Every structure is written in C-alpha cells, then in structure tokens.
Amino acid sequence: MENAKINVRQLFVLIVLFEFGTALVLPIGFVSEQSVWISILLALIGGCLLFIVYDYLYRQYPDLPLSGYVREILGNYIGWPISLLYLGFFIYNDARVLRETGELLVTTAYDQTPLFAINALLMLAVIYVLHKGIEVLARTGEIHMLIMVLLGFFGFIVVFVSGIINTNNLFPLFGEGWKPIIESAYRNILMFPFGEMIAFTTILPYLNKTQSGRRAGIIALLCCGLILSFTHAVEISVLGADIYGRSTFPLFLTISKVNIADFLQRMDAIVILTLIINAFFKCAITCYAAVIVAADLFRVKKTQRVVLPIGITILFSSMVTAGNWSEFALKGKEVIMGVFLPLLSVVIPILLLTVHQIRKRFGRKHSKIAK
C-alpha cells in the first residue's frame, strides 16, 4: 500500500461519484416499472447495512485492505484464493464499466469513433491519475464534484421549466403489489450500484480518521440514493414506464426532449459530460481496488508498478467481454448481478464478519481460562 491519506470529505466525494457511475444514466431495477424509485429507496437501506459491515471489518483491521484481512480471518490457504477471486472480479467489473461507457458514448455522441479508441482514452486517463496516487484521485474528485453539482442543478431546472414532466406516469404506484418492488430492490438495485461499494474496502485504510468513515459513508449513500431515486422518477415521469424500460440511455432521452421557447434545446452535452465524469471515477476506483489487491497478493511494495499492467488488462478485457450490446447486457445480468456481486459483496463479507466474531468470542473465553 502507498503512503497516503485522504480526509472524510474526500471519501464522501469519491463514494458519491462512484455510486452515480453509470447508475445515473442507465435504467435500473425495471422489474418494478414505474415504482422503480421506491425500489431504489428500499435498496438504499440494504446498501447502508452492507457498508456498516465493510466499515466494521475495516475498523478491526485498519491497516489492511480487503485481501489482507480475508487472509487474516480465513487463513492463507482459504483466504488467498478468495482474494484472487476478488482481484478477478474487480478487473472484470471495471472492464464492464469501461465497455458500458464506451458503448453509450458511441451510441449517443461519437458514432464515427471506434469503441477501442474511446475506451483507450478513458483508461489512459485512469492509469495516469492512479499512477499519481489515491490523494491525487481524491483531490480531482473534489473539483469534479462541484462540476457535477452545477450540471445536475442546471439539468433539473431546465427539465422542470420545459414542462415535459407528467407525474401521472408515476402511477399506479403499487399496480403489481409489493412483490416486484421488493424483488427489484434486493435482487437488482442492491447489487447495482450499492453492492459495488465493496471496492472501497481497499480505500478505507487510507482514511486519516478511522472512526469517521462510517458516518461519511452512510451520508454519502443516503445522498446518492435520494438523488438516484429522484432522477429516475423524473425520467419515468417524462418518458413513461414503457419507454424508460426499453431505452438504453433514458437520461439522455429525457434531456433531449427539453425545448424552452425554441431557444434552449439540445442539452445532450450535460448528460454526456455527466456520464464521462462519473464513469471515469467509477473506473478509477474499481481499477485502484484491483491494483491494491494485486500488490498485496503478490507482495509488490510500490503500487505504481501494478497500475499499468492492470490498466492494460482491463482495457483489452473490455473489448472481449461481449460481441454486442445485447450479449453484454445479458452477461451482466447473469454473471455480475446473478453470481459475483451477491457472493463477493454480501455472502463473503457476512461470512468474514461471522468468523471474526466467533474467533473473537472464543479467543476471550480461552484467555479467561488461561488466566
């Protein structure tokens, strides 16, 4: 691990930008249709509980990244393969985020630009900033957070002023009952985007105040959940549940309908810039998680030496994850949402927590007997 520290404000900013990622612009949890915004709020509760688990494990091992305390709790023979699985997951998930971003940019704005060129430019920027270290990434996040606030505020203002919102599209709220709402919340949205917070288990050890991480993380998640819920509610109210569900890029489609007095229109650049900023930080943080795990597993003292190989691996993996968008979306649902995220974001952390508590309790009993 590098010799660096980030403060609570920077952790908050990184979590917000990471959670927005592509979740701000893609349709999520559409099983619940027009009630998806309710599903996001329900999933937010589970996301906060998961972060509390991650933070608790971090507090028990404040100087170790995820791969370090996995081996500490489960032993080297079991912990090393599990840590290697996390490394593979971070690389694969980052490759998917990169591919997703590239596909969206090619579809909406750069239709004459090769997908590989867009992915390569984004990954080069990620490699450069990670080579400078986590502190530089955090400071960069603070600057871009201000840009995101201004873009978001302006975007929502023009959507409201344009008069394209139809709140009737949000009803009936419980047309199919609570079952699809809860299913959407805890099978889909809890995993994406909240389950991906497992990447921050490699960043928390850099926090300068160990006890402040939980509060900053929970507040950041609450802000993200509320904004995501509000954003997707606005998208559905403008587009309707049917178009929202069939659209690849509903936020782009929503903002493209803005027309104020035939003067203020074609505000697509707001969404494109939003996507690029959020996707950059999500790619960077997930890549950094892979770098830290790789450096820890293979005992590389300088993490900068691992950045370039991991970055190149992610770039080329992004091109071979799927042949087209349909295959890409199907693999994401089956592999990431159905297997990796539930296992690595929920099952294994809870297992680690359980084993740690058992060892802690029995350790105390043995120490009392010895005395």
Would residue 146 count as lying in a domain?
A: yes
Mean pLDDT of 244-263: 86
User: What single-letter amino acid sits at 316?
Assistant: F
Domain carrying residue 234:
8-348
Instruction: Read off the pLDDT of residues 298-331 as tens digits, 9 standing for 90 and up.
Output: 999 899 999 999 999 999 999 988 777 677 777 7
Q: Is residue 212, in this structure, part of any structural domain at all? A: yes
Report d(CA 39, CA 30) in Å as an integer: 9
Joined together, the tokens standing for residue 77 give 């023979």
Is pLDDT at 31 greater than 90 in this prediction? no
pLDDT tier for residue 276 given thresholds of 50, 70 and 90: very high
Domain membership flag for residue 2? no
- Relative to beta strand 259-260, strand 264-265 is antiparallel
Taking only the tens place, the pLDDT of each residue in 36-85 is: 999 999 999 999 999 999 999 999 999 999 999 999 999 999 999 999 99
Domain CATH code at residue 211: 1.20.1740.10
In a domain, 370, yes or no: no
* pLDDT beyond 90 at 2: no
Residues in the chain: 371
One DSSP character per residue, 35-58 reads: GHHHHHHHHHHHHHHHHHHHHHHH
pLDDT tier at 210 (50, 70, 90 boundaries)?
A: confident
Q: Assign 266 a pLDDT band (cuts: 50, 70, 90).
A: confident
pLDDT at 218: 97
Asked if the structure places residue 354 within a domain, the reply is no
Specify the pLDDT at position 10: 97
Q: How far apart are CA 319 and CA 315, in angstroms?
A: 7
pLDDT, position 22: 87
* Highest mean pLDDT (candidates 88-92, 106-110, 161-165): 88-92
- 3-state class (DSSP) for residue 207: strand
Token pair belonging to 286: 């997930």
Q: Confirm whether 117 is domain-assigned.
A: yes
Overall average pLDDT of the 237-249 stretch: 89
pLDDT (tens digit per residue) in 289-300: 999 999 999 999
Q: What one-character-per-residue DSSP string does 153-199 give?
A: HHHHHHHHHHT---GGGG--TTTT-SHHHHHIIIIIITTTTGGGGGG
* Mean of pLDDT values over 125-145: 96
Q: Is there a domain that residue 366 lies in? A: no
Percent with pLDDT over 70 in the chain: 97
Question: Using one digit for the tens of pLDDT, what is the confidence trace for 147-206?
Answer: 999 999 999 999 999 989 999 999 888 777 788 889 889 888 899 999 999 999 999 999
* Residue 22, φ and ψ in degrees, nearest 5: -95, -5
Check pLDDT > 60 for residue 366: no
In percent, the amount of the chain with pLDDT more than 90 equals: 68
243: closest CA among 32, 33, 25, 22?
Answer: 33
H or E element that contains 257: none
What is the reported pLDDT for 1?
Answer: 66
**What's the burial of 365, exposed, middle or buried (CB within 10 Å: 0-12/13-18/19+)?**
exposed
Backbone dihedral region for residue 329 (phi beyond 0: left; psi -120 to 50: alpha; all else: beta): alpha
Mean pLDDT of the chain: 90
Q: Are 204 and 214 within 8 A, CB to CB?
A: no
- Average of per-residue pLDDT across 94-112: 90
Does the pLDDT of residue 371 top 60, yes or no? no
Find the mean pLDDT for residues 199-218: 94
Sign of CA dihedral 185, 187, 192, 196: positive
Is 370 a residue whose pLDDT tops 60?
A: no
Please indicate, yes or no, if residue 367 is contained in any of the structural domains: no
Predicted local distance difference test score (pLDDT) of residue 86: 97
Neighbours of 312 (CB within 10 A): 13
Report the number of distinct structural domains present in the chain: 1
The residue with greater pLDDT, 265 or 236, is 236
Q: Which of these, 218, 199, 139, lies nearest to 18 by C-alpha position?
A: 199
